[in-house]
A and B are shown apart, each in its own frame.
Chain A
Amino acid sequence: MGGFFRSRLFWISLVLVAVASTLPLYVSGYILGLLTVAYYFGVFAMAWDLLFGFAGEVNFGPTFLIGVGAYTAGILNNEYGWSVYLCIVLGALASVVAGFVLALPALRVRGPYFGLTTLVAVLMLQNFVVVFAGLTGGEIGLTIPDVITIDAVKRTIDVELTAAQLRERRRAWRPRRPHRRQADLDHVWKAGNRLAARTADAVAPADARTMRILRRGRGMAIRKGCDASGQRRGVPRTDLSMRAWLTLDRPCRDQQPQDPDRATMRIAAPRGGKHGAFPCAADARQLFTQRLIGLAPRGRARHA
């Protein structure tokens, strides 16, 4: 055992794991998305290899267990709104149970027959998914209210903000941070913008209306397609990732910020200024984004 901890392999893997687990801090959302799929396939292949490589059983039904786990987690999350993490654990447990149920008849037979039995399990699951379409979403699939997002900031920046919005933000920041070059500002913004992170949790009423935010436990969770009161509505379900509605239609410079919908979130006028703290809509949006992913402190506004 001591030899194991001193071996080069151990240290190399330790470094690799450390690098891999901190990747969300410094790579783009695109690479993260790519790696997520790669890691997923890695785990998938390892699971299959465990059965075939070590036990010599050809399993044509790994997707049966994956499907049971995924649907369990998804349906629990969808129907009861339990935490994603809890749903994942329960989904994994369901997979284990399904594995036992599958193995009982399948292990009686060998070789191609075993393969076939596992294949039949997948086909049955597929059929039942269609039969219980009310619960599973059938062939269209399940829309899950929550997913775990890590790169919400980057995704928001990269995807949602148009060039015009970026220009607007630059203009807004220029008077207050004249010593910083615009490129730096943009860079800071993309990296998570510590400057703004220290400011406030506040959002303009206009945003509160359009963003459709729900407060949920620690931090914020966005329910896809929810209105302010949390009711599900027939809003676009094409997006696979959860994304805030950051469609701010008008700047709020000349508006006195008011209390928004109770169900959404508290809107506070930042201290130390009437409404000068929100030079433009982009700032409100920025603050909102920070708040959304928990970079900004929860407390009352402390604008510099």
Chain B
Amino acid sequence: MLALQILIDGFAISALYALGATGFTLIFGVSGVLNLSHGAIMVLAAVAAWAAASVLHVNTYVGALVGVAAAMVAAFATYYAVVQPIQKSRRIATEEKEIFVLTGTLLWGIMIQELIAYFFTNNAKTVLPIVEGVVDIFGVRTPKNEIFTAVVCCLVIGLLWLLVNRTRTGKAVLAASMNPRGVTLLGLELTSIYVVVWGIYGILAGIAGVLLGMFLGVSSYSVGPLTASAFSIVVLGGLGSVSGSLIAAFVVGYLETLTAYLFNPAYRTIPALLLLVVVMYVRPQGLLGRR
């Protein structure tokens, strides 16, 4: 019974982590940008969905769409207002650009966080779930919303796989992650590929954020921990490796669920962090890292 419970809960939370981390690792894999405003964009999506549903009183589907749209807008804003100016700047030395992007996106995330706190307060917000009710799976009472979350996450990740591997745009994205110079030599505009990737990233982060808002609830305080967990999952799996971060997401998700159920919910994140330190120590490139 307990094992099944852990299995189900762990799967839902892991799928959510996986979706959240996928966009993050995609951006890094293709354009080499570590986007530290990731958590802020996810929270923004959830808060936008919450505001649409509870302030404007639209139905939950429209609310979720509003959330995803907000995340997309925020992702494009991050790219055009923060990342691109730094990458194009001639006054910043090339080897320092990575650090500038890190700092820039970190500050950008804090700005979004403060704006959310200013307009919508720091209180935790829970987005109204799209599907309500509880089902009984072999004696484990599971909210339908949890199943919905897991299904949507798997679906979106599957669609992403199809997009990257089966479409022309996706192949261009894949190529850009392998060899940017080669892509430009083939006559593809690198910037437009980046724009597409940031769009995909916005959708992924938006869906993950809205689902998180339905599943666990968010507040502007969760920005930092969300970024940190995405970052650690991605590094655990290997920076830039999508499959690596999927595996890592499930490892972290199940580790946290096991700790919470078998030991103490207060210790929830500690084993995952310890694992991360150990992995850093023995295999700095992560589980499936390329370098």
* A→B interface (CB under 8 Å): 52, 58, 105-106, 108-109, 111-113, 115-117, 119-120, 123-124, 127-128, 130-131
Q: Are A117 and B269 in contact (CB under 8 A)?
A: no
Compute how far the CA of A194 lies from the CA of B24 in the bound complex, rounded to whole angstroms: 65
The size class of the interface chain B forms with chain A is 20 to 34
Q: Is the CB of B281 closer than 8 A to any CB of chain A?
A: yes
Residues of A within 8 A of B267 (CB): 127, 131
Footprint of A on B, CB under 8 Å?
34, 98-99, 102, 225, 228, 231-232, 235, 239, 266-267, 269-270, 273-274, 276-277, 280-281, 284
Neighbouring A residues of B277 by C-beta, 8 Å: 105, 117, 120
Given known A-B contacts A58-B99, A105-B277, A109-B280, A130 and B266 have beta carbons under 8 A apart: yes
| CB closest chain-A residue, reference B278 | A105
Contacts A120-B276, A131-B266; A113 near B284 (Cβ below 8 A): yes
Q: Taking CB as reference atom, which chain B residue is nearest A106?
A: B280
Q: Are B102 and A116 in contact (CB under 8 A)?
A: no
Q: B98: which A residues are within 8 A, CB to CB?
A: 111-112
CA distance A130 to B276 in the complex (A): 20
Decide: B273 and A112 in contact? CB cutoff 8 A: no
Interface of chain A: mostly helix, strand, loop or mixed:
helix
CB atoms of A116 and B266 under 8 A apart = no
Decide: A119 and B270 in contact? CB cutoff 8 A.
no
Known contacts: A58-B99, A116-B231, A131-B266. The answer to whether A105 contacts B34 by CB under 8 A is: no
Q: Is the CB of A109 within 8 A of B284?
A: yes
User: What are 15 A-B pairs at a CB distance below 8 A?
Assistant: A58-B102, A105-B277, A111-B98, A113-B235, A115-B102, A117-B277, A119-B228, A119-B231, A120-B228, A120-B277, A123-B228, A124-B273, A124-B274, A127-B267, A131-B266
- Pairwise interchain contact B269-A127, C-beta atoms closer than 8 A: yes
Residues of B within 8 A of A117 (CB): 277, 280
Write the nearest CB–CB distance from B24 to chain A, whole angstroms: 12
Does the CB pair B232–A105 fall under 8 Å? no
Whether A108 lies near B281 (C-beta < 8 A) is: yes
Indicate if the CB atoms of A108 and B284 lie closer than 8 Å.
yes
Tell me the bound Cα distance from A123 to B239 in angstroms: 20
Separation in Å of the B277 CB from the closest CB of chain A? Answer: 6
Q: Which residues of B contact A116 (CB under 8 A)?
A: 231-232, 235, 276, 280
Residues on B with beta carbons closer than 8 Å to the beta carbon of A112 = 34, 98, 102, 235, 239
Q: Chain B nearest CB: distance from A200 CB in Å?
A: 50
Looking at the complex, which one of B228, B239, B270, B280 makes contact with A105 (CB distance below 8 Å)?
Answer: B280
CA distance A113 to B238 in the complex (A): 10
Say whether B273 contacts A127, CB under 8 Å: yes
